[in-house]
Structure 1
């Protein structure tokens, strides 16, 4: 008979060893799982940090992310497809592996439990029942496990759109561990986890996916970097261009300003305060360029080229040859005007100054005029002459006699010293006169007498043939100078005086009476002019004395002299001027004249008197 006790003991020992081995394997699997979870946790933390950095970079490059989004969608589709394939493959492998494991476990358990020896009837039946239930239960659990794997795979695909591939691997290991625990808890046995080769393969695949994602991001960064560089370079180039344009504009404006200042300075005087004269000769046929060079060499201008350009700009083409006395205080415009007037054939003494005698000046006014130098830009510049010295010379009989001998035609009929206040009154022609270094008053007066003699030279024969003297013509011309303002009025007024002289009618000119009163040349009001003393005892009172005065009362100009020599042919005996407009009204009879006086003089006198009251 067979001893079933030993066999049963042996079976129990085998079962105990099997359970110990299963427990060790489960502990080892659990330890690996914990290690994998820790590694996965660290990997997730690193991945989260990397994702945070990437999101920051993505926010900073919004334009580049638009293109990257298309690439990411494409990569996400590829990753999803890859994940589906891996999930399906992994589930099938696990299902097959689990089934084989359960079958092997069941077979081992069944073979060890049901030995070839005759078991006890009760024991065999029990083992068969347990074997069948265990197999059915394991198969059911495996199906549920595969279903959970499929559900988790679908969820993991959604998570893979945001998270990295290592998360998928950890999730799978979690599901494997969970399924193994459930089967172990139910059957008391353990399922074998995926092999290390399978884990390594999955990790390699996941790392490949991560590498592809990283490569895509690297490519995106490489694409984005040139774009960023181009934008940065464009901004830098724009700033540089703006700075360069600003510098060019500033330099241009500064150059224009300095150029304008230089040209303006070159057209001005070399020395505005200089009174020194420089004698230069301009050769015949000289052009503007040569003239400019001569002037620059003599220190009269600053730049010959600018002189030439200015002359061309002003269309100057009539510069005359000859000798010129020019000053460094003269501007280019003044020098051009002097060169247009013409020079002298021989060098002349430089002019120190100029004296201006205006038409209608009396001898007292001329005495003041000779003290003012008008050949300067400075107001108040004086000549070396004195008014008292001039008036003393005008009463110096020796000097007067010398002049009479020098200009016999002009001065043959001058009034005597007893008759006239100044014998040479009216004989000094009004004009501008030069004086030179070392000039005397006698030289200046001599120039004035010479100019009058030269002016009357064409009329001497005509005056002589008319039966009049030079003194009479100049005396009448001195009245015409003050009474009229236009050539036509002066010829008509001269006609009135001649008509009165013909009928021996008093000339009745206020001009002569004002001279007798010492007020001629002074400013007077209308009322003062109308209130002149027509009864004054003076040979110049031509209200009381018929005929002309002893001599002229002022220095007449050429217009008054010509009007007196060639008067108009009229029958006028009267004239009156509108005191406001200066228009002259003529009459042949006294009644018409009285009406003109009432209208053009008295009316203004009344309005002037009422306004003064």
Structure 2
């Protein structure tokens, strides 16, 4: 009888210990451990993050960050942290949190508009993915990449088409660059290539001309007309005489792309630069900005007309007055010059 009591006591103690251990495991793995009130909290985990750095990042979001680390250790996540963007839902337990951080990397929308330099693009992109601006700029300017892609210092800006793209947040600099080149090559499908050939232009020449169209007018509905004008000039072997190219030439010459130039002066037209279309015929050697796709499509699908000249329309700001003859253009220009002088815009 005495031995039976001892055995029963041992069994009871064992059951209590097992129950305590089971409760500890259950509470560590399966009890909700979030401390935020929103339905979802987003976590951006660096690719080289350590478990200590991750714990520090999760501290405001979890009730018991040490319990999270215990589960992360047990599931071997602590030594195999995955960079990326992750969504933690209110009421998640540690097991769910670790599983989410291990396998549910979310894509992010990356967008950029009409940057004039690759440095500007690098800054814009670094605010949206993990890669920093220096690494991005180095990737953009990599000599081997430029050579393999048949690009140079003038054309390298043209392969980045402004749009919205889906990336993982932990995308590296070279991955971003290579993806953009693929998007550029995909953009130039057979239909667009044929249209470019019909205009007598190569793809990068289309981009360069589209950049001028983009700078000349912000009105999307006017871009096919402006594109048609410049294509008419090219057909007649006339100088493009586009003020935006002169402004770009000045910025490139001075190295100051932050300068604001509202008025091109006659002395500016003397600047010796291949981007000065008052001096050099044809399309510039590269784009003066990243043109919108609407501007590229305007060059590929221009309005059919006989216009050769244009000037800003002060009666309908944002648009232009077009002319087929120089005499008509000079009459249109008088009104614009009078207005710009009244505004006292000297530069």
TM-score band (shorter)?
A: 0.5 to 0.7
Q: CA 1:360–1:603 in structure 2 vs 1: closer, same or farther (change >3 Å)?
A: farther
**What is the distance in 2 between the residues matched to 1:521 and 1:447?**
27
Match of 1:546 in 2: 281
Deviations 1:297-344, CA, capped at 9 Å, x for gaps: xxxxxxxxxxxxxxxxxxxxxxxxxxxx873489xxxxxxxxxxxxxx
Match of 2:141 in 1: 395
Aligned equivalent of 2:248, options 515, 526, 533: 515
SS in 2 for 1:472: helix
**What is the distance in 2 between the residues matched to 1:465 and 1:591?**
31
Alignment RMSD (CA, Å): 3.2
**What is the distance in 1 between the residues matched to 2:237 and 2:287?**
19
State whether residues 360 and 478 of structure 1, in contact with CA within 8 Å, keep that contact through their aligned partners in structure 2: no
Using the size of structure 2 for normalisation, the TM-score is 0.64
State whether residues 232 and 308 of structure 2, in contact with CA within 8 Å, keep that contact through their aligned partners in structure 1: yes
State whether residues 130 and 169 of structure 2, in contact with CA within 8 Å, keep that contact through their aligned partners in structure 1: no
Q: Does 1:363 align with 2:118?
A: yes
State whether residues 86 and 105 of structure 2, in contact with CA within 8 Å, keep that contact through their aligned partners in structure 1: no
State whether residues 428 and 448 of structure 1, in contact with CA within 8 Å, keep that contact through their aligned partners in structure 2: yes
Match of 1:318 in 2: none
Report deviation, 1:465.
4.5
Aligned equivalent of 1:327, options 63, 74, 87: 87
Q: CA 1:532–1:384 in structure 2 vs 1: closer, same or farther (change >3 Å)?
A: farther
**What is the distance in 2 between the residues matched to 1:532 and 1:511?**
15
**What is the distance in 1 between the residues matched to 2:257 and 2:302?**
25
**What is the distance in 1 between the residues matched to 2:117 and 2:89?**
33
State whether residues 425 and 552 of structure 1, in contact with CA within 8 Å, keep that contact through their aligned partners in structure 2: yes
Q: CA 1:609–1:525 in structure 2 vs 1: closer, same or farther (change >3 Å)?
A: same
Q: CA 1:532–1:591 in structure 2 vs 1: closer, same or farther (change >3 Å)?
A: same
Bigger relative contact order, structure 1 or 2, given CA contacts below 8 A and separation 6+?
2
Report the number of matched residues.
256
Aligned equivalent of 1:590, options 326, 332, 347: 326
Query: For 1:39-438, what aligned pairs fall within 5 Å after superposition?
Result: 269-272=38-41, 274-275=43-44, 327-328=87-88, 349-351=105-107, 353-359=108-114, 361-373=116-128, 383-402=129-148, 404=149, 414=151, 416-417=152-153, 420=154, 423-436=155-168, 438=170
Match of 1:460 in 2: 193
Q: Does 1:469 align with 2:205?
A: no
**What is the distance in 1 between the residues matched to 2:267 and 2:110?**
33
SS in 1 for 2:158: coil
Deviations 1:575-596, CA, capped at 9 Å, x for gaps: 1123681121101112221222
Q: CA 1:356–1:543 in structure 2 vs 1: closer, same or farther (change >3 Å)?
A: same
Match of 1:536 in 2: 271
Q: CA 1:592–1:399 in structure 2 vs 1: closer, same or farther (change >3 Å)?
A: same
Deviations 1:181-239, CA, capped at 9 Å, x for gaps: xxxxxxxxxxxxxxxxxxxxxxxxxxxxxxxxxxxxxxxxxxxxxxxxxxxxxxxxxxx
SS in 2 for 1:576: strand
Structure ranking higher in strand proportion: 2
SS in 2 for 1:476: helix
SS in 2 for 1:586: strand
State whether residues 199 and 300 of structure 2, in contact with CA within 8 Å, keep that contact through their aligned partners in structure 1: no
Q: Does 1:499 align with 2:238?
A: no
Report deviation, 1:494.
0.9
Q: Which runs of 5+ in 1 are unaligned?
A: 1-267, 277-324, 331-346, 374-382, 405-410
Q: Does 1:486 align with 2:224?
A: no
Q: Which runs of 5+ in 2 are unaligned?
A: 1-36, 46-84, 91-102
State whether residues 508 and 543 of structure 1, in contact with CA within 8 Å, keep that contact through their aligned partners in structure 2: yes
Q: CA 1:328–1:577 in structure 2 vs 1: closer, same or farther (change >3 Å)?
A: farther
Using the size of structure 1 for normalisation, the TM-score is 0.38
Q: CA 1:537–1:609 in structure 2 vs 1: closer, same or farther (change >3 Å)?
A: same
Match of 2:302 in 1: 567
**What is the distance in 2 between the residues matched to 1:272 and 1:534?**
55
State whether residues 474 and 556 of structure 1, in contact with CA within 8 Å, keep that contact through their aligned partners in structure 2: yes
